[in-house]
Structure 1
Amino acid sequence: MKLQIFDIIVIGLYFACMLGIGYFVSKRNKDTEDYFLGGRNIPGWAIGVSFVGTMISSVTFLALPADAFKTAWIRFLPNFAFPVVTLIAAYVFLPFFRRGTISSAYQYLGLRFGSSIATYGACVYIGAQVVRSSSIVYLMALLMSTMTGLSIDASIVVSGAITAFYTVKGGFEAVVWTDVIQTIILVMGALIIIGMVILSLPGGMTQIITEGWAAGKFAFNDLDIKTGELASMEHGFSLSEKTTVMLLLVGFTQFLTGKLNQETVQRWCSTSSIREARKSMWILGGSSLPIWGAFMFMGTSLWVYYQHFPDTVSAGVLDGTLKSESILPHFIVTEMPVGLAGLVIAGALAAAMSTLSSSINSTSMVIVNDIYQPLIKKGVKKEGDLRVGLGAALTVSLLMIGGAFVFLYSETKTLTDFTIIITAVFGGGIAGIFLFGMFTRRGDARAVVVGIVLTLSFTLYALLMQFNVVTRIFDPYYTAILGNIIMILVSYVASMVFPANTRDLTNLTVWDQTQDGIS
């Protein structure tokens, strides 16, 4: 699959626009307040759109339509938990990070439990983001290589370097404004594809809905491994199999964890007031389900389209001989008019670049605020901090690009196993630490350390179970839920054994908030 020259020009113009924004915004960066928080004066609506752009990663752009094409809407089910999490985040979590000069999620952990727990949380975040960013660059390079004819090596360098340039050069403000443009482009891309399918079918939208409904493509069904047919899912509570209730709990846990990381906290702290920060959450909460739904509907639309215009690729995806993620790139290159194809590919690249730029900037902020300043070089001037921030962002970018090459030249099975291990270990109970700190008055670093040790031990067991080394006693899909529950319960019990010294917890728990922090 190769794009036409005009499509490549469209993609080139998109890249040039991103670079231009980074260069223009960089002139306003005088210190770390500007570089990492945009001077704490970014409009809430822009932060909200930026949230949306980061949320719709390349996984959303390619994987959600692919899953709806191959199966049904079962993967959409966890997203129904998102509006609830958004409300909790806006009115419970947000006040903890809008007080004083806090600009890092891990600064809160430091105030609540001490520097050792803050450092642990920061290191976990840094490691997870480097691995996550590397995998996104790799996937983005595969897409670019498939559609432009560039080698994967060159695609990694080009896509990674362009994202790194405008992020390192422009800082957080560049991240936000490029996110705004990228979000518009990627949503336009989804709507263009859906529109193309509607116009290609004699019955249009009605035909898509009627045929998709009759085939069960809009239901919360999944493929039965034995029969290869769509089958309904159980609805009750279970730890041994996937059910609708459990998928909702998985979504709730996943999204709750996402609202307690640095990418979210950084955005909240970059607005001028708590009102503006909450405005961003209203935009995010109100737009997420419709956008996710549009990408799922795109996949169903493509299924209906290829029922009437089948080819070898669509047949290969449906019979399992080809990866389902190949269906959308195939449709773009073979069916879309010149120019529009380039715009849609720019949307797919935008989805990845939005996530990457946010990850680079937030990770470098954690390196400066939570590692460098408190542990390595205390009391440096702001100008020195800015130079360190630029260096940290550049370092993260290089690690990201280097990690993508590791993914490229490693065996597929090794990559899959490595990603599973890193995700599980790095995600082990961090949200649980925050929740324990916010919702109880108990505990100090000693109690949390006990919780960390047992949670990581549980995670290790889950990983061994995943690879059939030990007896399977629950579905590994629920590792994050159980891990965070273990973190909270063990830390609470340990706090009874190691009672914390009496100290001021003002604005550190939900029970000790001052009125100015919750307004």
Structure 2
Amino acid sequence: MKLAIADWIVLAGYLCVVLGIGIYFSRKNTSTEEYFVGGRRFRGWVIGLSLVGTSISSITFLAYPADAFKTDWLRYLPNLALLPAILVAAFVFLPFFRRGNMTSAYEFLEMRYGPSIRVYGAIAFLVAQLVRLAMILWLLSLLIQEVTGVAPTTAIILGGLFVGLYTVIGGIDAVIWTDVLQTVILLLGGVVCLWVILDALPGGLNQVFELAGTAGKFALAPWENGAPGETSWSFSLSEKTATMMLLIGLTNWLTEYSSNQNTVQRYCASQSTQEARRGLWVYLFTALPIWAFYMFLGTALWVFFQVYPDVQASAILQGDARAETLMPHFITAYLPAGIAGLVIAAALAAAMSSLDSSINSVTTVSVVDLYRRHLRPGESDRHYLRVAWAIAVVVTVFMIGGALWLNNAETKTLQDTSTILVSLLGGGMLGLYLLGFFSQRGDARAAWCGIACTLVFTSWTVLTNKGLLPDAVSAPFDLYYTGLIGNLLMFAVGYLAASLWPAPSSAD
């Protein structure tokens, strides 16, 4: 489908506004304090909507509907653990990071354990974020290809360069305010898609619930052979039960709000602890409904294509086409002229709101935790600002390169793949922070014992995943549980080592 002139006008207008925000804030970026935390002046509602934009990425706009279309709602379960995680974050984690004008999540690790642990935390974050950046940019490129017809390489490079441009020049101010804009556009785009689907279905909303309900598309169970299995609430390390999915969600969310720079940087950019806490509540009561909405959108698309059979949709269900191509195909083939532009802008917003946050946070950690702390201490603030710009450019290049590699990789649905990657790359960070938050025992020696054991454990699961180990010594559990077990191992080993080696009077 060729886009109508109205669609191109909407798209061009949206992109110009985003770029304009970056240019506007570039004039204010005269210090690292402004570039990294925006002068610490943001209100809670801005922080909350920015957090929504950061977490609701292409994985929401493209992969959530794709997953619900192809399977059921099992992978929505981890999101429900956000509520208890936010409560812990608001009253336990947040106060730690608001003390002492911190800029990085990993400054706490040095205060608690010593500089070597801070370096470990920073590097673990950088690795995970570079993987995430590549994944989200690749998803963005699918839509660009569908809309413009350009080659995958061209789509990846164009998308990466645009996001990198306004992020590099605009800093955290541009990131936060574009995230707010992109959250609104994202929601509008999804609503328009659902409206088109319901308007086309003879039975409307009731037909979605009837057909999808009969087929088990709302089930909270593993999807096997075109149908849901039984929903199990048991504790198991070998299957994806509802209880275990909730525990995975709790682990991932606690990690997000204790050790993820994307989140902690927004704590630090808030006007006060009260405003930062208010931002968490705004995030909670906005994100959960939006995630559910996009899962429902995928279910509605399944009903739509049952009523109106489509070659591409059938190929996705049969595994002959990537599930993440579903939304781009629907947007370009079924949305009326003039509306497609808004929805495409929403899809672009979904990707860019996460990409810009990650680029900025990777830059912040690289400068604050590594370059300024260890490589070139004592330089002028202007020097560090220039280095931040240079690092942001390098990160953009890495992001584009990773997306090009991912374009040739074999994956399942991307939501499934991303969950496994988060578990593998988490490195037991939650366990490390919890040991620091809730115990004063132990120093860097205890922390390194926990880290070493966790890295051995994680390496074992990676080798198992690659099929490089005999069955007798392979991990006997689902890889979804790597992060959960790894964090428990980190905390237990670290606590035990702290008991054996009391902390000396000075850090390592």
- Under TM normalisation by the shorter chain, which class is it? over 0.9
Match of 1:66 in 2: 66
Question: Which has the higher mean CA deviation after the structures are superposed, 159-168 or 375-384?
Answer: 375-384
Whether the 8 Å CA contact 2:53–2:182 is kept in 1: the answer is yes
- Cα distance in 1 for partners of 2:187, 2:61 equals 9
Q: CA deviation at 1:200?
A: 1.1
Q: CA deviation at 1:319?
A: 2.8
- Cα distance in 1 for partners of 2:328, 2:403 equals 21
- Cα distance in 1 for partners of 2:216, 2:166 equals 44
Match of 2:329 in 1: 330
Question: Which has the higher mean CA deviation after the structures are superposed, 229-238 or 83-92?
Answer: 229-238
Match of 2:283 in 1: 284
Query: Judging changes above 3 Å, is the alpha-carbon distance between structure 1 residues 421 and 189 closer, same or farther for their aligned structure 2 residues?
Result: closer
Q: Does 1:373 align with 2:369?
A: no
Match of 1:300 in 2: 299
Match of 2:433 in 1: 434
- Cα distance in 2 for partners of 1:422, 1:254 equals 12
Query: Judging changes above 3 Å, is the alpha-carbon distance between structure 1 residues 421 and 199 closer, same or farther for their aligned structure 2 residues?
Result: closer
Whether the 8 Å CA contact 2:419–2:480 is kept in 1: the answer is no
Secondary structure of the residue that 1:241 maps to in structure 2? coil
Q: Does 1:270 align with 2:269?
A: yes
Q: Does 1:97 align with 2:97?
A: yes
Whether the 8 Å CA contact 2:77–2:242 is kept in 1: the answer is yes
Match of 1:245 in 2: 243
Q: Does 1:315 align with 2:308?
A: no
Q: CA deviation at 1:241?
A: 1.2
- Cα distance in 1 for partners of 2:265, 2:398 equals 22
Identity over aligned pairs, percent: 46
Q: CA deviation at 1:245?
A: 0.5
Q: Does 1:211 align with 2:211?
A: yes
Matches for 1:125-136 after TM superposition, within 5 Å: 125-136=125-136
Structure 1, residues 174-226: CA drift from partner, whole Å, max 9, x if none? 000100111111111111111111111222222222332232222213322xx
Amino acid at match of 2:36: F
- Cα distance in 2 for partners of 1:397, 1:471 equals 37
- Cα distance in 2 for partners of 1:287, 1:120 equals 33
Query: Judging changes above 3 Å, is the alpha-carbon distance between structure 1 residues 321 and 392 closer, same or farther for their aligned structure 2 residues?
Result: closer
Q: CA deviation at 1:502?
A: 4.3
Match of 1:481 in 2: 484
Matches for 1:43-58 after TM superposition, within 5 Å: 43-58=43-58
Query: Judging changes above 3 Å, is the alpha-carbon distance between structure 1 residues 262 and 411 closer, same or farther for their aligned structure 2 residues?
Result: closer
Task: Give the alignment's TM-score, normalised by structure 1.
Answer: 0.92
Q: CA deviation at 1:127?
A: 2.0
Match of 1:446 in 2: 445
Query: Judging changes above 3 Å, is the alpha-carbon distance between structure 1 residues 228 and 419 closer, same or farther for their aligned structure 2 residues?
Result: closer
Q: CA deviation at 1:152?
A: 1.6
Amino acid at match of 2:277: R
Question: Which has the higher mean CA deviation after the structures are superposed, 63-72 or 347-356?
Answer: 63-72
Whether the 8 Å CA contact 1:2–1:149 is kept in 2: the answer is no
Query: Judging changes above 3 Å, is the alpha-carbon distance between structure 1 residues 420 and 68 closer, same or farther for their aligned structure 2 residues?
Result: closer
Match of 1:517 in 2: none
Q: CA deviation at 1:66?
A: 1.2
Query: Judging changes above 3 Å, is the alpha-carbon distance between structure 1 residues 52 and 7 closer, same or farther for their aligned structure 2 residues?
Result: same
Whether the 8 Å CA contact 1:8–1:148 is kept in 2: the answer is no
Q: CA deviation at 1:32?
A: 0.6
Whether the 8 Å CA contact 1:442–1:500 is kept in 2: the answer is yes
- Cα distance in 2 for partners of 1:327, 1:75 equals 18
Match of 1:83 in 2: 83
Q: CA deviation at 1:265?
A: 0.6
Runs of 4+ more than 4 Å apart: 416-425
- Cα distance in 2 for partners of 1:421, 1:88 equals 24
Query: Judging changes above 3 Å, is the alpha-carbon distance between structure 1 residues 252 and 423 closer, same or farther for their aligned structure 2 residues?
Result: closer
Match of 1:354 in 2: 353
Q: CA deviation at 1:411?
A: 4.7
Whether the 8 Å CA contact 1:233–1:242 is kept in 2: the answer is no
Amino acid at match of 2:255: T
Q: CA deviation at 1:97?
A: 0.3
- Cα distance in 2 for partners of 1:413, 1:24 equals 40
Q: CA deviation at 1:412?
A: 3.2
Question: Which has the higher mean CA deviation after the structures are superposed, 370-379 or 46-55?
Answer: 370-379
Whether the 8 Å CA contact 2:58–2:140 is kept in 1: the answer is yes
Match of 2:466 in 1: 467
Question: Which has the higher mean CA deviation after the structures are superposed, 198-207 or 368-377?
Answer: 198-207
Structure 1, residues 491-514: CA drift from partner, whole Å, max 9, x if none? 11111222102479xxxxxxxxxx
Question: Which has the higher mean CA deviation after the structures are superposed, 309-318 or 427-436?
Answer: 309-318
Query: Judging changes above 3 Å, is the alpha-carbon distance between structure 1 residues 77 and 362 closer, same or farther for their aligned structure 2 residues?
Result: same
- Cα distance in 1 for partners of 2:377, 2:326 equals 53
Q: CA deviation at 1:131?
A: 2.2
- Cα distance in 1 for partners of 2:493, 2:116 equals 18
Could you tell me which of 496, 499, 507 is aligned with 1:493?
496
Structure 1, residues 113-160: CA drift from partner, whole Å, max 9, x if none? 000000111111112212221222222112211221122222122111
Amino acid at match of 1:383: R
- Cα distance in 1 for partners of 2:231, 2:63 equals 21
Whether the 8 Å CA contact 1:432–1:488 is kept in 2: the answer is yes
Whether the 8 Å CA contact 2:107–2:118 is kept in 1: the answer is yes
Q: CA deviation at 1:429?
A: 0.7
Query: Judging changes above 3 Å, is the alpha-carbon distance between structure 1 residues 218 and 413 closer, same or farther for their aligned structure 2 residues?
Result: closer
Q: CA deviation at 1:342?
A: 1.6
Q: CA deviation at 1:419?
A: 8.2
Match of 1:508 in 2: none
Q: CA deviation at 1:95?
A: 0.3
Which structure 1 segments of 5+ residues have no match? 505-519
Matches for 1:19-168 after TM superposition, within 5 Å: 19-168=19-168
Amino acid at match of 1:249: L
- Cα distance in 2 for partners of 1:422, 1:239 equals 17
Whether the 8 Å CA contact 2:78–2:248 is kept in 1: the answer is yes
- Cα distance in 2 for partners of 1:208, 1:425 equals 37
Whether the 8 Å CA contact 2:48–2:280 is kept in 1: the answer is yes
Q: CA deviation at 1:2?
A: 5.0
Match of 2:16 in 1: 16
Amino acid at match of 2:287: S
Match of 2:234 in 1: 236
- Cα distance in 1 for partners of 2:54, 2:463 equals 32
Match of 1:511 in 2: none
Secondary structure of the residue that 2:106 maps to in structure 1? helix
Amino acid at match of 2:248: V
- Cα distance in 2 for partners of 1:413, 1:248 equals 24
- Cα distance in 1 for partners of 2:395, 2:70 equals 36
- Cα distance in 2 for partners of 1:418, 1:210 equals 30
Structure 1, residues 383-403: CA drift from partner, whole Å, max 9, x if none? 222112212212212221222
Whether the 8 Å CA contact 1:61–1:348 is kept in 2: the answer is yes
